Structure 1
């Protein structure tokens, strides 16, 4: 027989008030930053893509079982079992099992209101996206499918999503980039899958695309077909934690940020950075870079931040004094043994337009007491220089 106090507890749970979302971010979407603000969530037209008449909130009675629905946000994440500790009257422990939804959502739920702008389905057991899963959701702005078991996507699954701008489908079992992505897409996060190939034409028609995060996939340099990024005007691209041995060719020329950290890149050759003159942040940390060919950095006139930490460089890369806008250089955890007086700053004064506000050189076998003070004459403050802490 159930103890009376336990029945009372279960009764209290059954009579609890329904979830009420007071702030838009009552739930998390991913382990990376999510770019939607409160205006976007409520349907406000912040980019010219959403309809102006969608600003007025509506309250639909449609809400899938186990989900939380409020102000065009449908949250169906983490639908499963919840276990919590309890105490018996005799002092021993027991586990209280509370069912908070279906035992692992297996598919996209039905009865989703057609005016939904954000659909959160992360942390479930969805394995397939079918043809009509998103039928009628023509106002959907953001779709979150992070941390499921998706391995199959119908070629027309995303066809109804004519206004979709953010697709988060990281941490799944995908072996290829989904076909026929919505032309309205601005941001795609597809990291931590099993993708080995980026074929030509897979991004065709995505003229609004701004950001792609595709790290954590077993991508090699040979996996990028020529023309794979044709037509894209990307601002941000990250291919970290892959199997790259060099900087991929034919990436979009429009890139402002390129992150290739945690790969197996061994060298930067002269032509590797030739087409990326608009970069202001380049991330190459945690690779195996031993050599940076002279003149390679001269193709980056707008570079402001350079990450070369945790590599195998034996000296400070040449060409840094010529980068007039460079402000941050990470060179810690390399094999640098000497720092010259002109390695960072140009000869003379008034040449560099932006002074450094961060130079890291710690965890290198360089005798910092031998470095001349004039070496950092173009640094804003002595606290911006990090030395020492080298251990063999």
Structure 2
């Protein structure tokens, strides 16, 4: 039963996961981009998962039904800028989900196909349509929001077919227009009408009268020559209009025509006027302008250029500064200055982004009393203190944007308007001192992309600050937020913070939202506290967990902090000591006890000596062969009579009986009777391969032991052979060694000796070391020496023979002389 439940649970989990994957795939867009490929037909390898297909800017001449019928998920199709001349009737029958279709800039003359019912965007402009009969097939597209089209003739009957559609935006290209039937545009039901390339050669007056009464928003593009008509027509069209938002794009006009149009619009129902990508021509002179009786509220000028450079610029500045409107935007117009209004102004919003205005502008200006927003981004402002004095008389100013200016602050006195609550100082190269020159009542502050490393702790007057952006600076830790009691959002992303300290995390507990993403986090023990705080309130960190990634160490680079794990034992010293250090200490103590009890160091020392002894034995054999020495004994043993019992009862049996081939020379059994003792000592030492000295306190008291040691030591120096073996039977205090035993002191200090162990278990290894030191086959040594002597004798005879041959006899000498 349990297995069955587990199986059903697994199947359910798989089905849920599959459903989630399918749902995610539905929400995702699969883009297939084939633009700019010089294609002449639709490629046949387009993925069936495609939802967005871009075939623009190619040379496709024809669309077949088989090109699209398998793309059942297609939502967006862009086939603009191609060479399509016709569309098959059933081309979109399989594209039930198609919502966006762009067929502009082709060679279509007629469209007989049926468009999908879910279509929201359709652009068939810039084709070769004679009339707009194509519109008769669009009446059923009830979801259509955007329609772009154009033809040589515009008739009411064609437009009437789409009059029931509630369109958001209509684009109409008129570059090929030859005939316009009055009232045709009035059939459109749209919120925004965009006319492009209207030409003076057309019946423009009727078309313009209709255009300004279609919707509340009208845009004219590339229509410069339209305005070279009588002033009365322009004024009449403007005053008999229902347009409240008027857009003019891509125009080049004379200065006097510009003033004429602006004056006509000023006294029309238009409330918002946008003029962009505009070039002023002709002489710029002062022209009277009537600001009265206007509905105008907003004037937006963007990307304004002038072909005239020598003129009185105050004409422009005065024209705009005296306008009685609420919003004035002049961006990317290369304005060098702007004058202060002569009388109290109605300006509430001023935007001069992308000009070249210095910080002398609006100094001591007392007439901008209603101004609430001032944007001076990307200009030539230099001194932050001077910018503050610019605002100190703007009593209603709330929002100031001076971003993207190279501002400098040297701790001069600042005098901001007390009403400022929002300030943008991004991209200004400001340092930490900027906090000493900020409005006290500020609630929103952007200091991103500056050169700030910390927030000075003596700044305590930002009690109302709610939003602080310090992204892309040089912070190495979170700023101290204790002086910001009402802070809600803190941005510190893209700084140099490896990990925020625990104290500063707690000091920012009052902050509701913090963005610390894209910092070079160091994933070590220190960051665990930060991760723990985040997991307690994951909604507090903006961008968590995707933007919080380890950078160090290298093996964790790219790992999200949410996936980082380091055991507590590696970071907590109080756990590390009892868990790791204590067992190590106990193990070392245990090892020490074991070594002490079993005397492991002694065994290691003896094994090392045995290895060194075997190596020295091999070396000494070759040395004796070179000397030609002949040995009768393996070793001569020297000892005190007080130690004789140990030598006879323990040493000799342990060596000779365990290895019958070893012969030890002992004075009692091997000294020749009748010879002097000294001669016997010398003879025994010379006939022995090694000399063993049994050292003890009694040894240093024996005169004969001293002689034996002296002769053996002399042989060591004369023959340079390693022939001494020292056995320390008992410890010898240095103070009891007579001064004449200087050689013994020297030997004990420089040479390794074998120390007799008291424990019986160690005797075996001890005697193995002794036997290894004297182990040699005397018979092999005799044969080798005999062979070497025979070889040497043979070499001497050969040298003698060669000399007898090479030296001529006396008779030979005489023969040679007689021959000459």
Structure 2 length-normalised TM: 0.33
User: In 2, Cα distance between the equivalents of 1:106 and 1:269?
Assistant: 52
Partner in structure 1 of residue 319 of structure 2:
133
Partner in structure 2 of residue 358 of structure 1:
542
The equivalences for 1:259-274 within 5 A come to 259-271=446-458, 273-274=459-460
Residues 1:343 and 2:501 are matched in the alignment? no
Whether the aligned pair in 2 keeps the contact of 1:143 and 1:166 (CA below 8 Å) is yes
1:26, distance to aligned residue in structure 2 (A):
7.1
User: In 1, Cα distance between the equivalents of 2:219 and 2:469?
Assistant: 32
1:7, distance to aligned residue in structure 2 (A):
9.0
User: In 2, Cα distance between the equivalents of 1:316 and 1:23?
Assistant: 54
Task: Compare 312-321 and 243-252 and name the one that shifted more.
Answer: 312-321
User: In 1, Cα distance between the equivalents of 2:333 and 2:285?
Assistant: 10
Q: Select the residue among 212, 216, 228 that pairs with 2:400.
A: 212
Report which of the two structures shows the higher radius of gyration computed on alpha carbons: 2
1:79, distance to aligned residue in structure 2 (A):
5.5
Partner in structure 1 of residue 202 of structure 2:
12
User: In 2, Cα distance between the equivalents of 1:63 and 1:363?
Assistant: 56
Partner in structure 2 of residue 316 of structure 1:
500
User: Cα deviations across residues 61-109 of structure 1 (Å, max 9, x unaligned)?
Assistant: x99444555535352522537xxxxxxxxxxxxxxxxxxxx44997998
The equivalences for 1:87-166 within 5 A come to 102-103=280-281, 111=289, 113-114=291-292, 115=294, 116-125=296-305, 128-130=313-315, 132-134=318-320, 137=323, 139-154=324-339, 157-160=340-343, 162-166=345-349
User: In 1, Cα distance between the equivalents of 2:283 and 2:461?
Assistant: 45
Residues 1:302 and 2:486 are matched in the alignment? yes
User: In 2, Cα distance between the equivalents of 1:78 and 1:166?
Assistant: 19
| 1:345–1:256 distance in 2 versus 1, CA, 3 Å | farther
Partner in structure 1 of residue 726 of structure 2:
none
User: In 2, Cα distance between the equivalents of 1:343 and 1:108?
Assistant: 65
| 1:247–1:274 distance in 2 versus 1, CA, 3 Å | same
Whether the aligned pair in 2 keeps the contact of 1:308 and 1:331 (CA below 8 Å) is yes
Whether the aligned pair in 2 keeps the contact of 1:212 and 1:238 (CA below 8 Å) is yes
Residues 1:71 and 2:281 are matched in the alignment? no
Partner in structure 1 of residue 629 of structure 2:
none
Structure 1 length-normalised TM: 0.65
Partner in structure 1 of residue 194 of structure 2:
none
| 1:109–1:119 distance in 2 versus 1, CA, 3 Å | farther
User: In 1, Cα distance between the equivalents of 2:404 and 2:548?
Assistant: 28
User: In 2, Cα distance between the equivalents of 1:140 and 1:265?
Assistant: 39
Residues 1:281 and 2:467 are matched in the alignment? yes
User: Cα deviations across residues 281-300 of structure 1 (Å, max 9, x unaligned)?
Assistant: 1101111222456xx21111
Partner in structure 1 of residue 359 of structure 2:
176
1:268, distance to aligned residue in structure 2 (A):
2.8
Partner in structure 2 of residue 87 of structure 1:
none
Query: Which structure is richer in relative contact order (CA contacts within 8 A, separation 6 or more)?
Result: 1
Partner in structure 1 of residue 42 of structure 2:
none
| 1:215–1:6 distance in 2 versus 1, CA, 3 Å | same
Task: Compare 108-117 and 195-204 and name the one that shifted more.
Answer: 108-117
Residues 1:190 and 2:376 are matched in the alignment? yes
User: Cα deviations across residues 101-133 of structure 1 (Å, max 9, x unaligned)?
Assistant: x44997998645423322223321379454642
User: In 1, Cα distance between the equivalents of 2:300 and 2:488?
Assistant: 36
Q: Select the residue among 415, 429, 438 that pairs with 1:243.
A: 429
Whether the aligned pair in 2 keeps the contact of 1:328 and 1:359 (CA below 8 Å) is no
**Matched residue of 1:163: which SS?**
coil
1:136, distance to aligned residue in structure 2 (A):
5.8
Whether the aligned pair in 1 keeps the contact of 2:428 and 2:449 (CA below 8 Å) is yes
Q: Per residue, is there more helix in 1 or in 2?
A: 2
Name the count of aligned residue pairs.
Answer: 307
1:142, distance to aligned residue in structure 2 (A):
1.1
Whether the aligned pair in 2 keeps the contact of 1:66 and 1:79 (CA below 8 Å) is no
Residues 1:370 and 2:564 are matched in the alignment? yes
1:213, distance to aligned residue in structure 2 (A):
0.6
1:225, distance to aligned residue in structure 2 (A):
3.5
User: In 1, Cα distance between the equivalents of 2:447 and 2:283?
Assistant: 34
1:346, distance to aligned residue in structure 2 (A):
7.2
User: In 1, Cα distance between the equivalents of 2:397 and 2:218?
Assistant: 24
User: Cα deviations across residues 16-51 of structure 1 (Å, max 9, x unaligned)?
Assistant: 426649457979xxxxxxxxxxxxxxxxxxxxxxxx
Whether the aligned pair in 1 keeps the contact of 2:451 and 2:473 (CA below 8 Å) is yes
**Matched residue of 1:75: which SS?**
strand
Whether the aligned pair in 1 keeps the contact of 2:322 and 2:341 (CA below 8 Å) is no
Whether the aligned pair in 2 keeps the contact of 1:145 and 1:169 (CA below 8 Å) is yes
| 1:259–1:216 distance in 2 versus 1, CA, 3 Å | same
User: Cα deviations across residues 177-215 of structure 1 (Å, max 9, x unaligned)?
Assistant: 522161211100010101101326322222211100100
Task: Compare 107-116 and 312-321 and name the one that shifted more.
Answer: 107-116
| 1:12–1:307 distance in 2 versus 1, CA, 3 Å | same
**Matched residue of 2:202: which SS?**
helix
User: In 1, Cα distance between the equivalents of 2:283 and 2:507?
Assistant: 56
**Matched residue of 1:319: which SS?**
helix
Whether the aligned pair in 2 keeps the contact of 1:134 and 1:160 (CA below 8 Å) is no
User: In 2, Cα distance between the equivalents of 1:136 and 1:370?
Assistant: 62
Task: Compare 13-22 and 209-218 and name the one that shifted more.
Answer: 13-22
Partner in structure 2 of residue 328 of structure 1:
513
User: In 2, Cα distance between the equivalents of 1:262 and 1:250?
Assistant: 18
Whether the aligned pair in 1 keeps the contact of 2:398 and 2:421 (CA below 8 Å) is yes
User: In 1, Cα distance between the equivalents of 2:338 and 2:275?
Assistant: 19
Whether the aligned pair in 1 keeps the contact of 2:278 and 2:303 (CA below 8 Å) is no
